[in-house]
Amino acid sequence: MSVPQGVLYGMCNPLLDISAVVPKELIEKYEAPLGGAILAEEKHMPIYEEIVKNYPVKYIPGGATQNVMRVFQWMNQASYPTAVFVGCVGNDEFGKIMKENVTKDGLQVIYRIDEETPTGTCAVLVNNNERALIANLGAANKYKHDHFLSEEVQKALNNAQFYYISGFFLTVSPESVLAVAEHALQNNKVFSFNLSALFIINFFNEVLMKVIPYTDYLFGNEDEAKEFAKTLKLDTTDVGEIAAKVSLLEKKNDKRKRYVVFTQGPDDVCIGYDGKCTKIPVKKIPKEQIVDTNGAGDSFVGGFLSFLVQGKPVEECVKAGIYSSSTIIQYEGCTYPEKPDLSQI
């Protein structure tokens, strides 16, 4: 089945990943969580210069939702953009590099250009195949709701049938997130969302809980699932149970029930639906084949959504997600071979 042009609309923080393999001491020095993500504070600012100066680095287009869109496009192998991504970059070299690369990947991007702030970057600190992320949002933090209301963005919004936003965008433009969610509700389209990070669940909980009722597909990893369960006082740390219970939270669109999809690294993917949980096993990748896990969660969602827009059953969507993420962890950052091998799914 051919996937329609612009069927998926995504919105978040476009960041240029600066990726380097570093010693564990450096990660500890900057108090970055292995396997997690934090926003850069003043004390983290020297990290960017430090890794560029002391280690071989790679510049890779990043930002959680932009990664999802790139993998979605790669899985579809269409000659036209099947996904549209909206965000904010600076008027600088990094912004130009990013637009060039993602356009080459087949995405349509509608960037707001901020004249005063540099393009956002993310230090990707890789150690022993795991990664810690320190994001300096820069211009990504300057996204304005006025841009969302522009004719070009509204046209992309109306044309799409599926929507995906990561929790990270709640720190920038919650107004735009809720507007996309409301549009999906009013038009009976599919809205998906990602918990994204522990700090989103803890420090942006109020607005997160406004978005959850709109969410048809909720994604997260096991740490986020457990943290979310704590804030909901669910009294369990079993990821499958949490997925089942979260599927029953208040939902505005009663035409379809919510799916909750929680990944657990190399362990089973838990699918919560209608108060029950099913589990899908993950294909094990030998440790020596894993290059780094940066982009693993995003690429899972990209693969999942590439099958979802084709109307495939959720179990198949999960298997597509497992394929795309297990492929991408064998490459540096969120990069991939020229073509996916869909026979592996």
What amino acid positions are annotated as catalytic residues? 298
What three-state secondary structure class fits 317? Answer: helix
């108090």: which residue's tokens?
31
**Spatial CA neighbour of 62 closest among 103, 14, 109:** 14
Q: What are phi and psi of 8, to 5 degrees?
A: -115, 130
Cα angle 103, 108, 111; round to 5: 95
């993602």: which residue's tokens?
102
- Contact status, residue 327 vs residue 336, Cβ threshold 8 Å: yes
Q: Is the dihedral of CA 35, 41, 42, 48 positive or negative?
A: positive
Q: How far, in whole angstroms, is CA 70 from its chain's centroid?
A: 10
- Number of helices (H) and strands (E) in the chain: give both, helices first: 13, 14
